[in-house]
Structure 1
Amino acid sequence: MDTEEFWALVEASDRAVDGPDERLTWLTDRLAGLPTAEVVDFQLRLDEAHARADTTRLWDAALRICGGLCSDDGFHYFHAWLVGLGRSVFERAVADPDTLADVPRVRRLAGRPTSEWSDEEWPDWESLDYVADEAYERITGVAEGLEDAVLARGEPGDDSSDPGDEPEEPVESDDPAEFARRYPRLAAMFPPVPGRP
């Protein structure tokens, strides 16, 4: 499974069914019908997407959108949610996190306290990380065998959730003016929460 096929499958799940749980079931079923090598490929493409989204600039945006409630793990799950939005949204957000202001699912969160967001509205999709593992187990009968299959390919897998180094320093959480300079549309939509980044 190459990058094009990975994105085609992720985007097809969004067209085929409604809701994140239904999409997970759909994706798992599709992957379980493929050869194990394709399932490993899916996981590798997902790991690559995580690595590309793992930037301090995107984390700054995620922190603001989530009202400061975006831990290391939460940011990792934010990557998966971003993958679920499709390739074009993903590519734009990785290049310029302020483009998240154009995403309807982000716009629906603006102006509402995080305490009012439903589970399905939260910008995270942790369970996407387990789809390939479940499909691999269905095919092989080996619990948690996907990790070994990834390692057998000579790939380290994705076990990091810290943003990588970038030329530009991350925004200081106590400097709203700097955040507004870098992300003007997100700053207008999501004012800083007192006491949070």
Structure 2
Amino acid sequence: MDEFWALVEASADGARTPDERLAWLTDRLAARPAAEVVDFALRLDELRGPVDTWRLWGAATLLFDGFCSDDSFHYFQPWLIGLGREAYHRVVADPDALADLPQVRRLAGRPRGDWADDEWPDWECLDYVADEAYERITGAPESLDDAVSARGRELRSSPQPGDEAWAVSDLAELSRRYPRLAALFPLSGRGRGSVWETATP
């Protein structure tokens, strides 16, 4: 796990964009033994567990003004991991600590339509880094899943929160649970509807 964090954090050196970080990570992984690429995929999957919770889904809902679907939350998780070990553990311990992160604070008070692609709190493509690196090494496309299965594991493909479910569409409850985040991202109520219901137990 220490090596995983070292790679993820080193990818951010030099203020790389998310795409540049992905290219850097893929190149580094592709230069390693195939087994270490499988290790990387498994560590990423393991780190999803503590952030695949209703507690974090509610916090993400505030960031997305209520439009946090299954996919949005699934891609939010690797973005949070990509912020590094310290930020990750702070937010796992207290989801409202998202309000303290500079990557979140710079979004506050701005319409989501004004957020640059590199600023959005999602990093879907981190999920594909190990796949691409593994294919480069083995020459076999889409073979990482088989290698993961050989270790008796299966990678997460959608959110599966394991904590107590609650209605993340409850605006008053969101404000109560995440007071600092709600102050930065007051909900407009536009989220009510099918997308809210997707993320409501």
Q: TM-score range by the shorter chain?
A: over 0.9
Q: Is 1:72–1:162's contact at 8 Å kept on the other side of the alignment?
A: no
| TM-score, L = length of structure 2 | 0.91
Deviation, 1:182, is 1.3
Change (3 A) 1:16 1:42: farther
Tell me how far apart the structure 2 counterparts of residues 180 and 194 of structure 1 sit (CA, whole Å): 13
User: Corresponding residue for 2:197?
Assistant: none
What RMSD, in angstroms, separates the aligned Cα atoms of the two structures?
1.3
Deviation, 1:29, is 0.2
Change (3 A) 1:16 1:151: farther
User: Corresponding residue for 2:85?
Assistant: 87
User: Corresponding residue for 1:148?
Assistant: 146
SS at match of 1:126: coil
Instruction: For 2:105, give the aligned amino acid.
Output: R
Given the alignment of the two structures, is residue 190 of structure 1 paired with residue 185 of structure 2, yes or no?
yes
Tell me how far apart the structure 1 counterparts of residues 168 and 33 of structure 2 sit (CA, whole Å): 47
- Map 1:110-149 to 2 at 5 A: 110-149=108-147
Tell me how far apart the structure 1 counterparts of residues 109 and 30 of structure 2 sit (CA, whole Å): 41
Q: Is 1:51–1:158's contact at 8 Å kept on the other side of the alignment?
A: no
- In structure 2, stretches of 5+ residues that fail to align are 193-201
User: Corresponding residue for 2:17?
Assistant: 19
Percent identity, aligned pairs only, is: 63
Tell me how far apart the structure 1 counterparts of residues 168 and 97 of structure 2 sit (CA, whole Å): 20
Q: Is 1:61–1:186's contact at 8 Å kept on the other side of the alignment?
A: yes
- In structure 1, stretches of 5+ residues that fail to align are none
Tell me how far apart the structure 2 counterparts of residues 183 and 17 of structure 1 sit (CA, whole Å): 29
Tell me how far apart the structure 2 counterparts of residues 172 and 67 of structure 1 sit (CA, whole Å): 12
User: Corresponding residue for 1:58?
Assistant: 56
Tell me how far apart the structure 2 counterparts of residues 85 and 7 of structure 1 sit (CA, whole Å): 10
Tell me how far apart the structure 1 counterparts of residues 63 and 166 of structure 2 sit (CA, whole Å): 16
Q: Is 2:75–2:124's contact at 8 Å kept on the other side of the alignment?
A: yes
Given the alignment of the two structures, is residue 175 of structure 1 paired with residue 171 of structure 2, yes or no?
yes
SS at match of 1:14: coil
CA deviations on 1:52-106 (whole Å, 9 max, x unpaired) are: 2100010000011111222101101100100110011011111110000011010
Deviation, 1:175, is 3.1
Instruction: For 1:175, give the aligned amino acid.
Output: L
Q: Is 1:29–1:135's contact at 8 Å kept on the other side of the alignment?
A: yes
- Map 1:9-48 to 2 at 5 A: 9-16=7-14, 18-48=16-46
Q: Is 2:66–2:189's contact at 8 Å kept on the other side of the alignment?
A: no
What stretches of structure 1 move > 6 A for 4+ residues in a row? none
Tell me how far apart the structure 2 counterparts of residues 37 and 159 of structure 1 sit (CA, whole Å): 21
Deviation, 1:16, is 4.5
Tell me how far apart the structure 2 counterparts of residues 16 and 113 of structure 1 sit (CA, whole Å): 28
CA deviations on 1:122-149 (whole Å, 9 max, x unpaired) are: 1000000000000000000000110000
Q: Is 2:56–2:95's contact at 8 Å kept on the other side of the alignment?
A: yes
